[in-house]
Amino acid sequence: MPLRMDINKKLTASSDRVKSVDIHPSEPWALAALYSGNVMIWDYETGTCVKSFELSDLPVRCAKFIARKQWFVAASDDMRIRIYNYNTMEKVKEIEAHADYIRCIEVHPSLPYVLSCSDDMSIKLWDWNKDFDCTQFFEGHQHYVMQVKFNPKDTNTFASASLDRTIKVWGLGSPVAHYTLEGHERGVNCVDYYPSGDKPYILSGADDKTVKIWDYQTKSIVHTLDGHSHNVCAVLFHPKLPLIASASEDGTVRLWSSTTYRAESTLNYGMERAWALAATKESNMLALGFDEGCVVVELGSDDPVASMDNTGKIVWAKNNDIQTANVRGLASGTGDEEGLPDGERLPIIPRDLGACELYPQMLKHNCNGRFVAVCGDGEFIIYTSQALRNKAFGQALDFVWSGTGTGDYAIRESISTVKIFKNFKESKTVKPATSSSEGLFGGHLIGVKGGDGSVLFYDWDSGVFIRKIDVAAKEVYWSDTGNMVCIATKDGAYVLSYNAETTASAIAMGQISEEDGVDGSFDLLYEINDNVTSGKWVGDCFIYLNNGGRLNYSVGGQIQTLVHLETSAGGTTKHSILGYLAKEDRVYVVDKSLNITSYRILLSVLEYQTAVMRGDFDSANELLPSIPESEYTTVARFLESQGFKEEAMAVTADPDHKFDLALELGHIDVAHTLMEETAEEDKDSTDTMAKWKRLSDSALRDSNFDLCEAASLASNDYAGLLLMYSAIGNYAGMESLAQSAEADGKTNIAFSAYLLTGNVEACVNILISTNRLPEAAFFARTYLPSRVDEIVDLWKNDLSGISESAAAALIAPSDDKESFPDFDVALQVEKMFLAQREGSKGSGIPSTDYPTAKDDLALDLIALVKSRGGGQVAAEAPPAAPVEVAPAAPVEVAPTEVEMEEDEDGDDGEEDLAKELAEQEEQARILAAQQAQIEAEAEEARRQAAIQAEAEKRAEEARLQAEAEMRAEEARLQAEAARMQAEAEKRAEEARLQAAMQEKLAEEQRLKAEMEAKLAEEQRLMEEMEAMAEPEPPAPTPDVPAVDSMDDFDDDW
């Protein structure tokens, strides 16, 4: 049967004629040498051109990657070889190599050698460690040398193909060919070696339209492949798959089986003649070069063909070779040996089991690991897993094992037949209730993939239809107990519960619907919104890899990520899950190069999480002591994700996690205790300071001012302390904050704190110390006029270093008193302010006195002093709130409740004060009247705005109603049009049926007429036969000239 292999086109790049292609071993790149003289690098994952190089005006006939040097080497028709760094696009070297066109370049797989062959009938060897000197010269062909190829099994030998119809095999130590292979009828264009060590074969393609396989040990032809209708330009053995590829000028690329030499597939992309092929052993990619561009295709799947049983024994296939190894104890260590860290490649020692008779495309252990099935080429073979002895074989499109029976399996014999085997003997035949079955899934039930995007489940014992699930499944994973199943699709996965008891009861009682199967056999539990590429059940926990390379596990729909694995250049995963060993608490994964790694997943943790998801907290509490304390934080985060935050805080062993939970739950005392237990070396860390800040914010929200203050002090949160002290009126705290902030260099906070406590001297000193001299001068002019002259002098000295004229323009009050009116009065007010501040130091006005004290904020002290005739400095002043500072014209002073002493002649003072008070009351009445008028106008404006808003609202409602009526009318018209169209279609259908009836009648009449004509013809023939029965005289024989020889006949013809 043919090799079942999907061919997916990854890249189609249109360009000039492509004479050579190559594939990078690690990057998703295809190198194309063009007849136009350019070299292109294409990314076949994204379909974009990565790099473009203009090498020559003449054709470039060959280009190859040298990946270990980040180079590519190219040869063109100007007889030169050029080497470029494909990362920097720098030309490394250019050499004049041959006397005629260079046909091919070959890079040695390990040594610094490059071979080139040319139309000058020579082959040359170049050594890049010797600055690309020509170290060897090979001659012997009598015509153009078209290609050279190193032998991968013996890299000291190589083969060459020539238009002299021969293939020669050479050695690097001799300029003379070892031997010559002759057999092609016309020139040989291409040659390749078989990549594995089991067959000493050479492949060749020639202008005689054939592909030949040679045994270079016996020097004989093994097989000849016919099928192309034009010259064969390129051939290769695929280094990873059992395929031969051949490209021809007939525009096709043919794929042949390298074991049976059967034609498997023909690729024709309509891009004219095919010139080049390339493949790499790292992937299943195949690059094709055509007249109109290049194509990259992926042949089948490059997933590793491997399987692991429940004891840790792994069996895998490399081409047709089957190998095995045991990973038990390698990762976890034995005795005193320390185990390997997660993600470390396991040092496995493979053991050869033998060669398989078919090419393995699937390999799978049965439920107990005693047997292993190998499938491929439309056949299957069951071997014993220990010695690879043949147990059973047959033909099948798909093969699956039962989840319970040792020798129970099922095969998909055709698109309409599934056969069930019990103990290696055929038991049942099932005809799936679908148009075509496209796949088969094993497990506790047989799953048949339907062509309509569904999965049909059947019972192993009776073959009875159980249920149809309408999802396009790509894989089905059953739990070990069979009570849960995960159906993976292209975009996600569905986890269902399977009720085996209900199903068994329905089968026993015959309560099975032919269309629906057993009702209640499956129930949807949850969905996984992830692209599952491989998976494994561990109890009720599903471990899986997604397409992005993340190793996850799902418990009750809650997904946890274990690790991010390496992905390919296209961002897709390179790994598959092999299995899980419960005794070692490890999951094993394999990559596409068959490297095996493991990751620790504690079974006790999985069982605990499963119990929590079931709501069985008694079982969960019993399992908790069996979990190592190092995993408590993982358990706690799981509990947190499920909403059990109190339990998570009690379980977690991570102080940071516990702190976060304590704050979230409002346990600020617990959080405070955790912060006090911080290690000495971590107390000044940024993270610790941030946590103190979070604690202070939480305490402030709970009005726990003591804890808020302590946390703010611990984190040096001066801004928070400023807010809290000013809000609660903590005068002493504000003074302490000002000093601490100034000492710590937080001058903005210190300035605000000093200002709120009335310490204007300290405010001026801060402005001077920070060289804010202009601000200091203006601040002193308002609050501390006695220091203005001093600060202006400092300002002048500082400004004179920049501009002498600007410094000279500055004037102090002592220099020009006329420019500073009422300055003497301001000095008196300053003395009064300082005197009353000292009298009330350390105290303030109670908040209950604010209604009566707030009017003092608007007092104009200078005007008040002037109204007293210059005034005297108050000896005593009632206490005032030093926290507030209010402006006053022309000098601003801190708001102070001042009570002036009476003059010696008390009567005059009382009269003046009464007069002043009367004027102020009159002003207050005028202001009140103005305020009332403003409020009335505002109220009228609000009323008008409300009327306007109501009118707009009604207009909007009317517009919406009109739109609704319009839409209803449109809907009615559409419905009427639809009805009329339906009637027209009905009339058309009736007319069509009537026309069909008339055609049928006409057809019947035509058939009747034909039948009558046929009968008449038969009657006529009978009459002619009767007439021919009478004898006729023989006709005369014409003269025939004699032929002397066959040559004369040919000439005449």
| Pairing outcome for strands 351-355 and 362-365 | unpaired
User: Is 588 within 8 Å of 581 (Cβ atoms)?
Assistant: yes
d(CA 895, CA 242): 97
Q: Tell me: cis bond preceding 890? Omega within 30 of 0 counts.
A: yes
Long-range contacts of 660-669 (CB under 8 A, 24+ apart): 661/636, 663/694, 663/695, 663/698, 666/698, 666/702, 668/695, 668/698, 668/699, 668/702, 668/704, 668/707, 669/707
- Two tokens, residue 234: 């390129």
Report yes or no on 229 lying in a domain: yes
d(CA 949, CA 940): 14
Report yes or no on 124 lying in a domain: yes
pLDDT at 43: 93
pLDDT digits (tens, 9 = 90+) for 524-537: 999 999 899 999 99
pLDDT at 930: 64
Report the candidate in 714, 722, 682 with the shortest Cα–Cα distance to residue 696.
Answer: 714
Last residue of one domain, picked from the residues 907, 936, 971: 907
Last residue of one domain, picked from the residues 250, 273, 299: 299
pLDDT at 160: 96
- Two tokens, residue 158: 């190589």
- Containing structural domain, residue 855: 821-907
- CATH classification at residue 109: 2.130.10.10
Report yes or no on 62 lying in a domain: no
- Two tokens, residue 821: 């009116």
Report yes or no on 890 lying in a domain: yes
How far, CA to CA in Å, does 958 sit from each of 385, 561, 824, 953, 966? Answer: 83, 57, 72, 9, 12
- Show the 3-state SS of 210-221: EEEEEECCCCEE
Report yes or no on 934 lying in a domain: no
Those residues with Cβ within 8 angstroms of residue 495's Cβ, 6 or more apart along the chain or in another chain: 484, 485, 486, 524, 525, 526, 527, 528, 542, 554, 557
pLDDT at 125: 96
pLDDT at 511: 85
Residues of the chain with pLDDT under 50: 1, 871-907, 909, 1032-1053
Report yes or no on 55 lying in a domain: no
Helix (H, G, I), strand (E, B) or coil at 899: coil
d(CA 70, CA 31): 13
Report yes or no on 50 lying in a domain: no
pLDDT at 845: 66
Neighbours of 834 (CB within 10 A): 16
Sign of the CA dihedral running 1000, 1001, 1004, 1006: negative
How many domains is the chain partitioned into structurally?
2
pLDDT at 388: 86
pLDDT at 932: 66
Those residues with Cβ within 8 angstroms of residue 718's Cβ, 6 or more apart along the chain or in another chain: 712, 737, 740, 741, 744, 746, 749
Could you identify the residue written with the tokens 């009682």? 509
Those residues with Cβ within 8 angstroms of residue 431's Cβ, 6 or more apart along the chain or in another chain: 416, 417, 418
Cα–Cα–Cα angle for 35, 39, 40, nearest 5°? Answer: 115
d(CA 331, CA 325): 14
pTM: 0.64
User: Is 488 within 8 Å of 532 (Cβ atoms)?
Assistant: yes
d(CA 618, CA 255): 63
Neighbours of 867 (CB within 10 A): 16
Last residue of one domain, picked from the residues 282, 299, 316: 299
H or E stretch covering 697:
helix 686-701
Report yes or no on 848 lying in a domain: yes
